[in-house]
Amino acid sequence: MTEEIIIAGFGGQGVLSMGKILAYSGLMQGQEVSWMPSYGPEMRGGTSNVTVIISDERISSPILTKYDTAIILNQQSLDKFECMVKPGGTLLYDPNGITRHPERKDISIYKVAATQKATEMGAVKVFNMMVLGSYLKIKPIVKMENVIKGLKKSIPARNHHLIPMNEQAIEIGMKEVQQV
């Protein structure tokens, strides 16, 4: 199994930390993982993306031009990465602020209104965990127990009391995701 993922959105949405928790979850179940962020001028322009690879084998390139899954959190990222999903691949997006929705017919498209849901709940900080939950519902490549272990490794010990809230957000994301 090799899963090649791009997660892309605005800086501050938790794109990089979502990727880190996913990668750590893979590590916790003994898989090979890589996490490669954009750190260049695009980061300074407000958009943020990270390539995460989880595999049973040694990972070759940590940087890719085609992905099994794209997790998209803003319009710029949708415009950039929709065409880079492999045929038969998966695109998950949050429709918040999206004016041109995904158009491809040869991939599976899912949406989750995570921004809206997190705002309603007054829990915008766990927005990214809702999206992660939606992804794990579509592709359960890592076990929930390993996600919790990954969360513990990724979040500083002083914030470990927030783990149940993150767990709950993952569950909500799993419930809210819809195939388009």
Partner 1 sequence: MEKELRLMKGNEAVAEAAIRSGADAYFGYPITPQSEVIEYLMAQEPHKRTGMVVLQAESEVAAINMIYGAAACGKMAMTSSSSPGISLKQEGISYIAGAELPCLIMNCVRGGPGLGTIQPAQSDYFQSTKGGGHGDYRLVVLAPASVQEMYDFVEIGFDLAFKYRNPVMILADGIIGQMMEKVEIGPQKVRRTMEEVIKQCPWGTTGKPTTRERNIITSLDLVASRQEAFNLKLVKKYDEIKEKEVKYELINCDDAEYIIVAYGSSARLSMKAMDLLRAKGIKTGIVRPITLFPFPSKVLFDLADRVKGFLTVEMSTGQMVEDVRLAVQFKKPVEHYGRVGGVIPSPEEIVNALEQKIIGG
63 contacts partner 1 (rule: CB under 8 A): yes
User: Total residues contacting partner 1 (rule CB under 8 A)?
Assistant: 22
In one-letter notation, the amino acid at residue 49 is N
What is the DSSP-derived secondary structure letter of residue 97? T
Task: Output the six-digit token pair for 55.
Answer: 């595999």
List CB contacts of 76: < 8 A, sequence separation 6 or more: 47
73 contacts partner 1 (rule: CB under 8 A): no
Cβ-based nearer residue to partner 1, 11 or 95: 11
Q: Which of these segments, 59-67, 104-112, 162-170, 171-179, binds partner 1 (CB under 8 A)?
A: 59-67
Q: Which of 45, 61, 159, 164 binds partner 1 (CB under 8 A)?
A: 61
Query: How large is the angle between the packed helices 163-176 and 114-121, nearest 10 degrees?
Result: 130
Alpha-helical runs (H) found in 83-126: 114-121
Q: What's the rounded Cα separation, in Å, for the pair 60 and 24?
A: 18
Task: Output the six-digit token pair for 143.
Answer: 């076990």
- C-alpha 10 chain-centroid distance: 13
Q: Which of 45, 46, 56, 60 binds partner 1 (CB under 8 A)?
A: 60
Residue span 88-127 as binding mask against partner 1, x where in contact by CB under 8 A, dash where not: ----------------------------------------
Q: What's the rounded Cα separation, in Å, for the pair 62 and 19?
A: 13
Residue 92's DSSP bridge partners are 71, 110
Residue span 17-56 as binding mask against partner 1, x where in contact by CB under 8 A, dash where not: ---x--xx--x----xxxxxx-xxx---------------
C-beta of 99: minimal distance to partner 1 in Å?
30
Give, as ranges, the residues between 122 and 161 that touch partner 1 (CB under 8 A): 153-154
| Binding positions for partner 1, rule: CB under 8 A | 20, 23-24, 27, 32-37, 39-41, 59-65, 153-154
